Structure 1
Amino acid sequence: MFTQYDQESAVLTSMLRDQFSAYLAGEWDAEKLAVYQTGKLRDVVAYARANSPFYRDRLAGFTDDHIAALRIDTLSQLPFTTKDDLRQAQFDILSRPISDAWVFYETTGTTGPATPCPRTHVDSIYNNTVLTAYYREVLATYGEHQVIGISGPSEMHATGDTFGDVCRNLGYAVAKMWPVSPVVGFDRALEVMRQLPVTGMFCTPGMAMRLAQKAIDSGLRPRLDFSLKVLLLTGELASPSLLENIALLWNAEVRNVLYASQEASVLAAATSDGALRTAPLINAYEVVDPDTSEIVRPDADGRRCGELVITNLYLGAKPLLRYRTGDLVRIVEPEPGAAVVASSVEVLGRVRDRLSINGTVLTGYDLENFLLDGLLGYRDYQITIDHDTQHRDRIGLLLRADPNFDRSVLQRAVRRCRDSLDASLTIRFGDPGAVTSTGAMVSWKAARVVDLRAERSIENEAAARIAAARR
């Protein structure tokens, strides 16, 4: 292992392993966590102010006394950091020079300038320790002798390295496969999946469906000709309805295992109880109203709904302070018996992906879950929204499925849409095309929704460009 050759990394790895073991064992109470987070917060703010040109300017009026008085519950004293800030600041956002990193990644740059996302050993050790600790029990369910496939969006993305390192920590073999690569391609990826055989697969929900379709196009049967036990999904919306469908396609268990971003790294990860849970040893979490920027407090059920804001609590290449992710989430306080005493997270889609249907505002997650409920066996889908002759919103749902698709459930979906959204629903069958494969690169809305009520957006144009290249 690398850390055995680097004393500083070896010490950090051992310390974090022990901390996470104690935390997962329930040995940290709320007071201990608050003291830990407060100390880390002060360290990170001082570190970013001293080393990042962007934060040196942004925090010019923030004195040592201000930092010493910061607490984890007074984060709102700090200014927000936005995605536009990252795009404009570029390398000035960094708190370490690139030469201090072990690897350079960047965002895809599909809807604006790509932003640098280097990782130091500190970044990788902190984030990969979370995943190793959380995934240990998740993956143990499927036995010791596993081969895990990893499908990522590009060679300059952290997916392959991160999951590869975590699987190595846990003792599992890894096969990194990029089916969209012209060198690998879907045919070779499917062949490797059968030959090894691959028992688990990290990929997006869209890739899971594309692989199933490509297998069928090749005369294979996803449910019978592969050895997949579990699909470990990340990178796109993953509503319960969609997960149920993917499980049926592959006859495998399906888990939503990671909420992360290239900019902010790991934000939440799967635990053995099936929930995505926050990682409070490496991040501080806030939820704000996306329209007013006001802090959202937990309701009577301990639930917060709004835009996620995170602050990294480790001294890496690019710690972010009060970073507005642009993502809508539902965060719920940990319930008794939770596998990890950390809040659970449902990722609802991006703030700008919200849709209004006849006056009802829906997130991407809720609309997908609502429309696809009870529809099983499709291998792709796309939503169309336009107006009828009375200028009421109406919905079209295009499914890619076999002719023997169970159509008896369609009328129930039509009635449900009419009763809940006062909207007509038309369901057709066909191929939506390559644009639906761009969700992880652009956005769920650009990939999955054709909104004829609005002009094409920058995201729509980016999705169309990527789709054209993939065709």
Structure 2
Amino acid sequence: MFTQYDPESAALTDELRGLFDEYGTGKWTADDLDAHQTARLREVLAHVRAGSPFYRDRLAGFGDETLSGLHIRDLRKLPFTTKADLQQAQFDMLSLPLSEAWTVYETTGTTGQPTPCPRTNGDSIHNNTVLTAYYRGIFAAHGDRQVIGVSGPTELHATGDTFGDVCRNLGHTVAKMWPHSPVIGFDRALEVMRLLPVTGLFCTPGMALRLAQKAVEAGLDLRRDFSLDLLMLTGELLSPSLRDNIGTLWGAEVHNCLYASQEASVLAAATADGTLRTAPLINHYEVIDPHTGEPVAPDRDGVRHGELVVTNLYTGAKPLIRYRTGDLVRMTEAGPGAAVPAPALEPVGRVRDRLRLNGQVVIGYDLENLLLRRFRGYLDYQITVTRDDTGVDLLSLTLNAEADRLRDEDTQGAVTDCREELGTTLSVGFGDPGPITSTGAMVSWKAARVVDLRDPGAGTSVETRSAERIAAARA
């Protein structure tokens, strides 16, 4: 492997493999983790202050002695970093010259200016070690040698390199397929999946549905004509209801395999117990109230619900300090039987993906999970919100499915669920929402999945316009 040609990278790979093996088998105490995170934080603060023009200015009010003695529990003394900061600072955010990176990615820029996201060898090794260690148990259940397809959004995205390297670490063959590419297309991608055959696939939930839809349109049977045993989904909102439907369609085991971003890299990964878990050896996590910025206390069930803030604990091209992800999460401490002794993380949508229905704020994840709970076998879905003459909000669910495949009792059950849990009337219909639903990973869940007709005079959001533009190009 490449790291053997670079002594520094080889040594780092060996060190991290040992650390993750010890941590994953429960050999670390809380004090061990506290000491590790504190030491790494101090290294990162020195690194960004020395190399990043942005952080040199942002941390100017803190003396060297203060930063070098900062404990991980005192992290709240430092200011947040925001997405707007990244867009404005651009290359001034970097802590190393671009020439020290091995590759350069960037954010998609669909709803704002793209930001550069270079990776050094150290960046990739830290993040890919997490995925290798966490995925090992998942892949082991499906045999030693598999052919894994990888489908990502753009050539400037980390998806292909990251999952390709992790599969190589685990001893599996990789086929990178880009169905939205004009060279490949969906027909060729489906042909490759059958020919090899592909036994596992990394892609977005929307891509898993789109591939299924294209296969059915071509007269193929998803279970008979394909060999998929494992679907590793990421990049979009994925409620348990949608996950289970995708598994039913393909007859495969499905995992919400990764929570990450181009800017902040790997934040949580799937483990063999079916749960997304954080990576506290390489990141520190905070859960805050998105309005006040204050930390959120666990509820009586031990769950912290709020906006995720992350600090990278490794020196690289672009470590971030107290980065506000803009994502709402539910975080729960690891309990007995956890595959990895790290907190479970449930991403439940971006802050701006929330909806207000009849005075009640609803999170996208919970709405999707509620509306789709009863249905299986559909190839796509979309939600429409309207308001009647009396000012009452109404919901409509459109399913891409043959009406006679769904039971009347399931439809009635969904209507009852919606009325009891949200106090909102639901109607269920059938149709093809079109390619806009495939834009969630590029834009947002709400822009891709929700048509809000309550205020026609207000115009459409930047996200919705971006989703419509991408969908038109894909059509």
CA deviations over 1:22-49 (Å, ceiling 9, x no partner): 1111111100000000000011011101
Report the 3-state secondary structure (helix = DSSP H, G, I; strand = E; otherwise coil) of the residue aligned with 2:216.
helix
- The corresponding residue for 2:362 is 362
- The corresponding residue for 2:14 is 14
CA contact (8 A) 2:268 2:345 kept: yes
Task: Tell me how far 1:407 sits from its aligned partner.
Answer: 3.1
Task: Tell me how far 1:262 sits from its aligned partner.
Answer: 0.6
- The corresponding residue for 1:145 is 145
- The corresponding residue for 1:429 is 430
1:276-287 correspondence runs (5 A):
276-287=276-287
Report the 3-state secondary structure (helix = DSSP H, G, I; strand = E; otherwise coil) of the residue aligned with 1:48.
helix
In the alignment, the residues of structure 2 paired with residue 268 and residue 143 of structure 1 have an alpha-carbon distance, to the nearest angstrom, of: 24
CA contact (8 A) 2:46 2:68 kept: no
Please state if 1:462 is matched with 2:463: no
Report the 3-state secondary structure (helix = DSSP H, G, I; strand = E; otherwise coil) of the residue aligned with 1:127.
helix
One-letter amino acid of the counterpart of residue 432, structure 2? D
One-letter amino acid of the counterpart of residue 2, structure 2? F
1:311-330 correspondence runs (5 A):
311-330=311-330
TM-score normalised to the size of structure 1? 0.99
In the alignment, the residues of structure 2 paired with residue 48 and residue 9 of structure 1 have an alpha-carbon distance, to the nearest angstrom, of: 21
Runs of 4+ in 1 over 3 A off after TM superposition: none
Task: Tell me how far 1:325 sits from its aligned partner.
Answer: 0.1
1:187-336 correspondence runs (5 A):
187-336=187-336
Greater Cα offset, 397-406 or 441-450: 397-406
Task: Tell me how far 1:449 sits from its aligned partner.
Answer: 0.3
Task: Tell me how far 1:77 sits from its aligned partner.
Answer: 0.6
- The corresponding residue for 1:416 is 417
Q: Percent identity?
A: 66
Report the 3-state secondary structure (helix = DSSP H, G, I; strand = E; otherwise coil) of the residue aligned with 2:466.
helix
Please state if 1:401 is matched with 2:412: no
- The corresponding residue for 2:131 is 131
Greater Cα offset, 425-434 or 155-164: 425-434
In the alignment, the residues of structure 2 paired with residue 74 and residue 265 of structure 1 have an alpha-carbon distance, to the nearest angstrom, of: 23
Please list every run of 5 or more consecutive structure 2 residues that lacks an aligned counterpart in the other structure: none
Greater Cα offset, 228-237 or 419-428: 419-428
Report the 3-state secondary structure (helix = DSSP H, G, I; strand = E; otherwise coil) of the residue aligned with 2:148.
strand
Please state if 1:71 is matched with 2:75: no
- The corresponding residue for 2:390 is 390
In the alignment, the residues of structure 2 paired with residue 418 and residue 404 of structure 1 have an alpha-carbon distance, to the nearest angstrom, of: 24
Task: Tell me how far 1:422 sits from its aligned partner.
Answer: 1.8
One-letter amino acid of the counterpart of residue 471, structure 2? A
**RMSD of aligned alpha carbons:** 0.8
CA deviations over 1:357-389 (Å, ceiling 9, x no partner): 112211110000011111111101000111012
Aligned length: 471
CA deviations over 1:172-195 (Å, ceiling 9, x no partner): 000000001000000000000001
In the alignment, the residues of structure 1 paired with residue 416 and residue 402 of structure 2 have an alpha-carbon distance, to the nearest angstrom, of: 23
Task: Tell me how far 1:403 sits from its aligned partner.
Answer: 3.9
Please state if 1:34 is matched with 2:34: yes
- The corresponding residue for 2:117 is 117
In the alignment, the residues of structure 2 paired with residue 4 and residue 161 of structure 1 have an alpha-carbon distance, to the nearest angstrom, of: 18
In the alignment, the residues of structure 2 paired with residue 68 and residue 236 of structure 1 have an alpha-carbon distance, to the nearest angstrom, of: 38
Report the 3-state secondary structure (helix = DSSP H, G, I; strand = E; otherwise coil) of the residue aligned with 1:256.
strand
Report the 3-state secondary structure (helix = DSSP H, G, I; strand = E; otherwise coil) of the residue aligned with 1:281.
coil
Task: Tell me how far 1:404 sits from its aligned partner.
Answer: 2.8
